[in-house]
Structure 1
């Protein structure tokens, strides 16, 4: 199954490169078409886009890139990680399908996010080949994420629905501000994981659509033009604004997800690699789910 999935992703990647090579959106007609943008039907998003692009977007991304890890570094120094033995009884919680889908999405994000920062700070890196390579990788690794985003949404939708346990979790921030190991009300996914699920799925789909619109910037969709009344150039500007704003949330939540799974909870990342979760970790961090599993004789 994994081999077939990788073959599909590789085939789609090659098809995308071939399409881009042959299409006029990457050829000589591109410049000619761009010169016509904004001459008719423009709602003049240009000044707003220019203001945001030149004065705010890069600084906000820099703030997220520095501020979020710094906050977690301080948390690690003051509170420290929660450590569980990982030698006690385990439960097989994530099957092979779950793990492959998650790993494809994870690898995609690990390329998309750094290359996205290189694109944002292209001037700092001096532009040229390095930034163009980052732009191409950014687009190519969007393909595997596009393939798995809907399967990932469907396979974890039920566990990602919010309930009253999540309200109580938010009130104490999941117990992460305390060194004590007290049982926390949470199902298979806690409120933080659910929040990341919705940002990754809805935000990811938004990023795919807005990014594709910018990537294939001369690909006109008449239905959208008729529906919104926006000119092609203003649709591109709107897509860029949406892409950047959504990017703030996704980057912040992705860093949070990485910190929680690799540092704040020692060994937690192994569950999505091996499929097994450790009993004490589930008992403390997902007590509602633990009670359900215990009643079923799983623990």
Structure 2
């Protein structure tokens, strides 16, 4: 009996010793080459390895979602740089263009007579959409591209406060932007329909070129010129995409979108923001710097008579002919 007990004890000792030796060897191998072990685990995760959790969400048993990773790569490699280029690139281009070309001056100077163009309500809804739009561009730039372009140069505390503030402002400004977008799209669309003379306006770049064969050209334009119409429809279409995708992202509990739909919404939101940002820079430069007297329209609702005849001659002739021409008293 004692012999059997000794033999069993010896076998158990050998088994336990062998097991601990194998574990020790495996640990030493992992320490010596940690990338091999991590690589194997990563390969399994990418292949769709699943586990068990108490969650009942759509991806409850997936440690990672490789589709998410492709979206993150798209964001870092394409969307973030594109938004930076849309904002700062367009600013640089316009600064250089104005330095070389100069601005579009009124040939007859200011007449001193102001013509009624926009109602106070129109001016109000313009700024209702414009101010939130600018804030959304700046905060959206921080949220989308900040970690790649700004964070490395900022302290952790300042970056945390900046990203938190950007997120709060972005969420709050979304609603007034959508209200302004809806009002402008519905109320202004009738004056933004394309006409045949818009093609001639595009061919001579609106008469804003001050050199070569384009110099001194002043193509016909109605209430809105071809450039303004292009901006309006870009704003209307991509503003719709931004608003719809923004609602899905802002109120996920209300709409309960799938994870895939949320990712698609994020991509569409970013692409639309890039396009609207580029158009917004052009619009701002044309209204404030490029066109002498243009900014007055969206400040008081009136424009100088010489500005009206030079940039919107067909509209000015129309209001003279139908008796709706009104001057500021």
Whether TM-score is above 0.5 comes out as yes
Structure 1: give runs of 5+ residues left out of the alignment. 1-31, 226-231
How big is the shift at 1:86?
Answer: 3.2
Correspondence for 1:194: 229
Correspondence for 2:118: 94
How big is the shift at 1:250?
Answer: 0.2
Pairing 1:5-24 to 2, within 5 Å after superposition: none
Taking the aligned partners of 1:248 and 1:54, their CA distance within structure 2 comes to: 14
Taking the aligned partners of 2:56 and 2:91, their CA distance within structure 1 comes to: 42
How big is the shift at 1:204?
Answer: 1.4
Say whether 1:184 aligns with 2:219.
yes
CA contact (8 A) 1:44 1:234 kept: no
Structure 1 residue corresponding to 2:140, chosen from 116, 121, 125 = 116
Label 1:120 to 1:33 Cα distance change in 2 as closer, same or farther (>3 A). Answer: farther
Correspondence for 1:36: 57
Taking the aligned partners of 2:307 and 2:55, their CA distance within structure 1 comes to: 56
User: RCO higher in 1 or 2 (8 Å CA, sep ≥ 6)?
Assistant: 1
Correspondence for 1:136: 168
Pairing 1:256-271 to 2, within 5 Å after superposition: 256-271=282-297
How big is the shift at 1:45?
Answer: 4.1
Structure 1 residue corresponding to 2:307, chosen from 281, 285, 288 = 281
Structure 2 residue corresponding to 1:172, chosen from 204, 223, 239 = 204
Correspondence for 2:319: 293
CA contact (8 A) 2:136 2:170 kept: yes
Correspondence for 1:8: none
Say whether 1:160 aligns with 2:195.
no
Correspondence for 1:4: none
Taking the aligned partners of 2:196 and 2:89, their CA distance within structure 1 comes to: 30
Give RMSD over aligned pairs.
2.6
How big is the shift at 1:89?
Answer: 2.3
How big is the shift at 1:44?
Answer: 6.8
TM-score, normalising length from structure 2? 0.72
Count residues with an aligned counterpart: 258
TM-score, normalising length from structure 1? 0.78
1:142-167 deviations in whole A, cap 9, x for unaligned?
Answer: 11122222221122111111111211
Label 1:51 to 1:188 Cα distance change in 2 as closer, same or farther (>3 A). Answer: same
CA contact (8 A) 1:183 1:286 kept: no
Label 1:233 to 1:91 Cα distance change in 2 as closer, same or farther (>3 A). Answer: same
